């Protein structure tokens, strides 16, 4: 396949950045999107050009590093798919593809397609965990969890912290991410002791990062590679209201 | 181009985090979710008022005497427990507070939202959200202007052509006999319908009342209320303009 990539090039945080077009005449439909960028970068390196910087790690859809915006869609056109799991067979020979970094004031561009998502880490640090003594694993049957609750918690635990929800949101809001953490931990008995503090602290940290608010637009859930539903945001709102009313 | 290695930028200065107050309602008001909750509660309060208002307007079809008598009663609800127009003034105070809190929250949240995502992408995004979501802000501004116009038209009677206190029926007929006044009402009520269509569902979401198995019902009620209010409010001006009420 012959493809034209128009990629956001930005030398560093201070640079203003621009779209630059590159031809990739030898793309293979079975390549992943990141492999396509690898092929382009190999050529750029050989030609003495600066390769395109992009974040990646696992390349199997579980680490959350690799997100870019492809033709205006976070992680590209295929739903529930990370950029690393997107294959070129989704595109047609001769396509022109625009590739941009996540856009949000809370995510500064480090270089080209790589952004600084550490704001999400600071949200986690504010309470996206349970406080438990480490040591030998507790007896699994000591704390029974009803199946529907375990399912909800597990579904929300699949969030990989990629930031696509922020990138897709017209307000750059991190509500879907934060709601996944709160729904995951606050539905489980293990999360109960810190239930109220967790949601208050996470929301405070989220607001402090400069993310926008939720207007219930729903772009986030469509972009989310893990299908975190809007229902999690309703749960976050409910938990926040509950904790604000002073209930533990 | 020379090869450059990405370096982590110096952490951007974080927006100053207001110290947490020991007064919980203040923290609530400062948070995005708290302000949005204020919008949801005030929005639902205004919605409840609008349903009653719309149904009351329909009394105009019973004729001048009935309607003027009803309008007069509106000023004296609560008597004799409450003195004179006390109830009226309590209601005016509560509704004004609701409009102001709703508008202030909308302004503050919208400013924050626009600042959080200044750059657009090269393409339009997936069209997940319907038209109603996109016109919440314009619609809100239109409604704010409309509320002012409406009060000048029928409450203070400043802009009313007939403008006789106590003659509600004739005041209404005189306004709506002018085509462009009716046109203003039509535009405003369409925005009202759109605002409620997204707003009702959104408020249920904000208050944490939505569940996956209720989603269709909540959307259905939202659309039903939107149509009911838009059509219900517009029947009167359209009937006047068509000469069915005079
Ligand atoms: C003063 C005029 C008004 C303005 C400026 C305004 C503005 C807005 C805006 C911008 C939003 C979206 C906020 C967001 O998503 O962050 C909104 C939501 C809403 N509005 Fe209004 N509006 C006005 C009047 C009304 C009226 C008359 C009603 C009554 C029916 C109403 C009911 C609602 C409801 C129920 C919501 C949803 C709240 C939520 O999402 O939690 N608004 N309004
Ligand atoms: S909620 Fe979805 S889109 Fe947002 S960070 Fe988690 S996995 Fe990514
Ligand atoms: S590289 Fe890990 S999710 Fe894509």
Map tokens 């657009």 to a residue: B120
Enclosing domain of residue B54:
33-115+131-241
Number of domains forming the structure of chain B: 1
Angle between helices B215-241 and B168-176 (to 10 degrees): 90
The 3-state DSSP composition of chain A as helix, strand, coil percent (nearest 5) reads: 40, 15, 45
- Residue B8, pLDDT > 70, answer no
CATH of residue B166:
1.20.1300.10
- pLDDT (tens digit, 9 = 90+) per residue, A79-96? 999 999 999 999 999 999
- Residue A47, pLDDT > 60, answer yes
Rounded Cα distance between B235 and B229, Å, is 10
- The pLDDT of residue B246 is 84
Residue B122 lies in a domain: no
Give, using CA atoms, the residue closest to atom 7 of ligand 2: A159
Residue of B nearest to A41 (CA): B3
How far apart are the two ends of chain B, measured CA to CA in Å?
A: 79
Nearest ligand, measured from the Cα of A62? 3
pLDDT (mean) for A121-147:
91
Q: Which residues contact B104 (CB under 8 A, 6 or more apart)?
A: none
Map tokens 């996206």 to a residue: A128
Percentage with pLDDT > 90 across chain A: 94
CA of B153 to the centre of ligand 1 (A): 23
- Residue B197, pLDDT > 70, answer yes
pLDDT (mean) for A143-148:
94
Provide the pLDDT confidence category of residue B5 given band limits of 50, 70 and 90. low
Map tokens 């206190």 to a residue: B165
CA of B143 to the centre of ligand 1 (A): 9
Strands A69-70 and A114-115: unpaired
Kindly report the nearest CA distance between residue A130 and chain B, in angstroms: 22
- pLDDT (tens digit, 9 = 90+) per residue, A191-204? 999 999 999 999 99
**Nearest-CB residue to A100 (from B115, B121, B210):** B121
Instruction: Give chain A positions within 8 Å (CB) of B208.
Output: 234-242
Rounded Cα distance between A82 and A12, Å, is 25
Query: B213 near A244, Cβ under 8 Å?
Result: no
* Cα angle value A106/A19/A220 (rounded, 5°): 40
- Give the position, in ligand 3's atom list, of the atom nearest the Cα of A162: 3
- The pLDDT of residue B13 is 57
Strands A96-100 and A3-9: parallel
- The pLDDT of residue B68 is 97
Burial of A202 (0-12, 13-18, 19+ CB in 10 A): buried
- Give the position, in ligand 2's atom list, of the atom nearest the Cα of A161: 5
A116–B9 CB contact, under 8 Å: yes
* Cα angle value A77/A81/A87 (rounded, 5°): 70
Provide the pLDDT confidence category of residue A136 given band limits of 50, 70 and 90. confident
DSSP chain B: -------PPPPPPPPP-PPPPSSHHHHHHHSHHHHHHHHHHHHHHHHHHHHHHHHHHGGGGG-HHHHHHHHHHHTTTTTTTS-TTHHHHHHHHHHHHHHHHHHHHHHHHHHHHHHH--PPPSS-----S-HHHHTHHHHHHHHHHHHHHHHHHHTS-SS-SS--TT-HHHHHHHHHTSHHHHHHHHHHHHHHHHHHHHHHHHHHHHTT---GGGHHHHHHHHHHHHHHHHHHHHHHHHHHHTTS--
Picking from B231, B239, B171, the residue whose alpha carbon sits closest to that of residue B51 is B231
Provide the pLDDT confidence category of residue B98 given band limits of 50, 70 and 90. very high
B116–A105 CB contact, under 8 Å: yes
Picking from A73, A35, A50, A51, the residue whose alpha carbon sits closest to that of residue A224 is A73
- The pLDDT of residue B127 is 63
Picking from B173, B140, B179, B178, the residue whose alpha carbon sits closest to that of residue B154 is B173
Residue B22 lies in a domain: no
CA of B32 to the centre of ligand 3 (A): 31
**Nearest-CB residue to B207 (from A69, A200, A241):** A241
Residue B86 lies in a domain: yes
Rounded Cα distance between A240 and A69, Å, is 31
- Give the position, in ligand 3's atom list, of the atom nearest the Cα of A58: 2
Residue-range domains of chain A with CATH: 3-111 (3.10.20.30), 117-132+144-244 (1.10.1060.10)
- The pLDDT of residue A139 is 87
B208–A19 CB contact, under 8 Å: no
B122–A169 CB contact, under 8 Å: no
**Nearest-CB residue to A231 (from B12, B121, B211):** B211
Picking from B109, B121, B114, B135, the residue whose alpha carbon sits closest to that of residue A167 is B121
Residue B8 lies in a domain: no
């Amino acid at each position: 396949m012959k493809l034209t990539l128009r990629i956001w090039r930005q030398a560093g945080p201070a640079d203003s950045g621009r779209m630059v077009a590159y031809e990739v005449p030898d793309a293979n439909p079975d390549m992943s999107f990141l492999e396509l960028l690898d092929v382009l970068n190999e050529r750029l390196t050989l030609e003495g050009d600066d390769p395109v910087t992009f974040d990646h790690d696992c390349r199997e859809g579980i680490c959350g590093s690799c997100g870019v915006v492809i033709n205006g869609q976070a992680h590209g056109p295929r739903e529930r798919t990370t950029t690393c799991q997107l294959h070129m067979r989704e595109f047609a020979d001769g396509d022109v593809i625009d590739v941009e970094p996540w856009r949000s004031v809370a995510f500064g561009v480090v270089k080209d397609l790589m952004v600084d998502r550490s704001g999400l880490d600071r949200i986690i640090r504010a309470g996206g965990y349970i406080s438990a003594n480490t040591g030998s694993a507790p007896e699994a049957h000591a704390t029974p969890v009803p199946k529907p609750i375990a399912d909800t918690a597990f579904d929300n635990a699949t969030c990989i912290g990629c930031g696509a929800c922020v990138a897709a949101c017209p307000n750059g809001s991190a509500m879907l991410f934060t709601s996944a953490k709160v729904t995951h931990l606050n539905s489980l008995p293990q999360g109960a002791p810190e239930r109220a503090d967790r949601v208050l602290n996470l929301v405070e940290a989220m607001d402090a990062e400069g993310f926008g608010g939720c207007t219930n637009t729903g772009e986030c859930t469509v972009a989310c590679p893990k299908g975190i539903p809007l229902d999690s945001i309703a749960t976050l709102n409910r938990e926040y209201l509950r904790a604000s009313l002073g209930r533990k | 181009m020379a090869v450059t290695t990405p370096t982590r930028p110096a952490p951007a200065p974080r927006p100053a985090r207001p110290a947490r107050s020991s007064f919980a309602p203040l923290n609530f008001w400062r948070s995005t979710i708290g302000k949005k909750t204020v919008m949801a509660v005030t929005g639902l309060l205004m919605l409840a008022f609008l349903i009653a208002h719309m149904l009351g307007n329909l009394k105009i079809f019973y004729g001048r005497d009935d309607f003027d008598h009803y309008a007069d009663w509106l000023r004296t609800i609560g008597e004799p427990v409450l003195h004179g127009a006390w109830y009226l003034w309590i209601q005016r105070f509560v509704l004004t507070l609701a409009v102001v809190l709703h508008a202030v929250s909308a302004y503050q949240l919208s400013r924050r939202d626009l600042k959080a995502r200044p750059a657009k992408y090269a393409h339009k995004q997936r069209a997940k959200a319907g038209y109603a979501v996109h016109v919440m802000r314009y619609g809100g501004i239109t409604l704010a202007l409309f509320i002012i116009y409406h009060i000048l038209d029928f409450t203070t009677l400043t802009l009313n052509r007939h403008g006789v206190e106590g003659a509600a029926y004739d005041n209404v007929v005189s306004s709506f006999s002018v085509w462009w006044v009716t046109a203003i009402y039509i535009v405003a009520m369409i925005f009202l319908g759109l605002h409620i269509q997204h707003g009702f569902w959104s408020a249920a979401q904000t208050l944490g009342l939505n569940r996956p198995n209720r989603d269709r019902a909540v959307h259905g009620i939202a659309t039903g209320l939107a149509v009911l209010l838009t059509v219900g409010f517009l029947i009167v001006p359209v009937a006047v303009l068509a000469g069915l009420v005079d």
